[in-house]
Each structure stands twice: as C-alpha cells, then as structure tokens.
Amino acid sequence: MNSESSVLRSTGTTSSDMRAIWAGKLLAVYLTATGALLLVGHSRVSATAIALHFAILGFIAATTVSPAMPAPLRLWAPLIVLLFLYTEIPQLIQAAGHTRQFDEVVMRWELTVFHTQPALRWAAIWPSRPLSELLHASYLSYYGIIVAVPLALHLTGRRAEFDEAMFVLMLTFTVCFVWYVAFPVAGPRYFWPSPAHAASGPMRAAAVWLLEARSSRGTAFPSSHVAVSVTQSILAVRYFRTRGIAIGIVTIGLALGAIYGGFHYAVDIIAGALLGAVVCILGLKATNELRSRGQANASAPT
C-alpha cells in the first residue's frame, strides 16, 4: 500500500497520515469557492482565466486524493501553485464586481494612527543608502522565508511536522487572499512617487523590479509578506527552538523594509502581523484537532 494513502483500503478507516492532505484539501475548498465566484462574474473576466483556474483546481484535487501521484508532487503541490493563486487575485477582484479599491480608507486609518503617512515620509526624511539596502534585502528575503520551514522539516525527515507546517502556511495565504477579494487595497506605490529614490541601490532596484513584474494590484492590506513571515517565525521557533529566532529577526527587517520602500502602508504591516499570529495559532489548534480525530477514526473498531 502507498505510504501516502489517506484511507486504509482494507478497513476504510482514516489513516494517521490523513494530515498529508490537509493543505491540498484546504486549497481545493478555496479554489472551488473562488471558481464559483469566477463563474458568477464571468462577464467581467476572460474565459482563459476561468479555464486556467479550474485546471489548477483539477491539479490540486488530483495531487491531494490520487494515490498514483508521486509523493514529492503531493507534498509540494500547494507551494507549486502559490504563484498562480497570487497572480489571479486581480481577476477575482474583477469577478467580485469591485469598481474601486479602498486605499482612501486605509490612508485615513494611517493618518488616524500615525498622524502622517510613514510609507511616504520615512525614506524621504532618512535617505540612508546602507539602511535602504539592508531593509530592501530583508524585504526580498520573504521568498526564502516562504519555503524555509517546510524545506528544513522535509530535509530532516520530520514528515508529520512538515504536513502541519504546510497546512498552517496555506491557511495564512488563503485568509489573506480571501481578504483581498473582499477588501482590495492597491498600496502606496501606486499613488505616490518613490520615497527611496535618493537612496537607491541594487537591493532596492531588485525589489522594485520584482514588484513591477509579479505584484498583484489589490493585495496590500493586510500585508501577506508580513502575515506569512510572522507565521513562519512562529513555526520556526516551534520546530527549531532558538535557531528559529533568525527568521523572526529577518521578519522585523522585512516589515520595516515594506514601509521604508513605500510598498505598504504602516497599518498594512500591523494588520499583517496580527493576522499571521492569530491564523498560525488557530491553524495549529486545528491541526491538533484534526490529528486527534484521525487517530480516533484509525483506532475505531470496524
């Protein structure tokens, strides 16, 4: 029997390895719900976008439930489709019928909390190239942070913890994505000139290029960069103790870099940090509950 199977063929009971499909099932639910949204708003999006969406749904469903799928593909499928999920958000926003984004609301919150616009003012007041490069390098570290914890767990053979971490990570992403569809915010860089022009350098240039090439408009509040990095920081400490603190330190630089670079409003960062912490804690509680149910089902007499 394939060790990745989530159902024991001889008994029909749930295997203790049910956790292997948690992340895939979560994404299948998200893709089904957003697929329904695309169908309802089909007149506002392209047929190609809808077809691609359902192709990805089919891929996730197949890798989640089919025992014929290679184990590595099943393990990493959620992260493989992550770029697609992020880049299609503007299509989902259009399908939802939004005719504007809510930056004016967030700017008012910013003024209420800080009495200024930190994303506009900070780098202009303190145009330090060394600081700019350090913070932009921290901002770019996000792409490594996404995979750092799952990869470390995978390489050390900690399979159960890998599945748990992957589920919590995907839960953080999906909560952010649903929020963006309901409350799209473009972000300050679409409205204000670059605040860090005088302190530009290769790290700043790389961050700007990457955002211009891959960023999805409408995904500023809350910051998924910060939400995911906070989630990964908590998981890193959970699984690797003091060694995991390094991700937390880099996350602080990432959060500051998002403001200094003018990529996010400061309230985006606060909301992202709170969301990441709350979702991570709730996700870990959910995995404990799912694990307990799976073990109870596996041990139940038939």
Question: Residue 200: left (phi > 0), alpha (psi -120 to 50), or beta?
Answer: beta
In this predicted structure, what is the pLDDT of residue 199? 65
In this predicted structure, what is the pLDDT of residue 296? 57
Distance, CA of 160 to CA of 283 (rounded, Å): 15
Phi/psi at 14 (5° precision): -75, 130
Do the domain assignments include residue 274? yes
Residues 6+ apart with CB under 8 A from 150: 79, 162, 165, 166, 169
- On whether the CB atoms of residues 231 and 150 are closer than 8 A, the answer is no
Indicate whether 9 pLDDT > 50: no
Do the domain assignments include residue 7? no
Do the domain assignments include residue 231? yes
Task: Please write the tens of the pLDDT for every residue from 218-234.
Answer: 999 999 999 999 999 99
In this predicted structure, what is the pLDDT of residue 90? 96
| pTM as predicted | 0.90
- On whether the CB atoms of residues 92 and 181 are closer than 8 A, the answer is yes
Indicate whether 191 pLDDT > 60: yes
Distance, CA of 83 to CA of 35 (rounded, Å): 17
Convert 223-256 into a string of H (helix), E (strand) and C (coil).
CHHHHHHHHHHHHHHHHHHHHHHHHHHHHHHHHH
Task: Please write the tens of the pLDDT for every residue from 78-118.
Answer: 999 999 999 999 999 999 999 999 999 999 999 999 999 99
Do the domain assignments include residue 26? yes
Do the domain assignments include residue 10? no
Domain span holding position 107: 16-299
In this predicted structure, what is the pLDDT of residue 21? 82
First to last CA, the chain: 19
Q: Determine the residue type at 268.
A: D
Do the domain assignments include residue 142? yes
User: CB-based burial of residue 270 (10 Å sphere; 0-12 exposed, 13-18 middle, 19+ buried)?
Assistant: middle
Do the domain assignments include residue 8? no
Q: Among 64, 74, 26, 15, which Cα is nearest to 291's?
A: 15
Do the domain assignments include residue 3? no
Confidence of residue 198 (pLDDT cuts 50, 70, 90): low
Round the CA-based radius of gyration of the chain to a whole number and report it: 21
Section 145-152 average pLDDT: 97
Q: What's the domain count of the chain? A: 1
Confidence of residue 214 (pLDDT cuts 50, 70, 90): confident
In this predicted structure, what is the pLDDT of residue 133? 94
Section 135-145 average pLDDT: 96
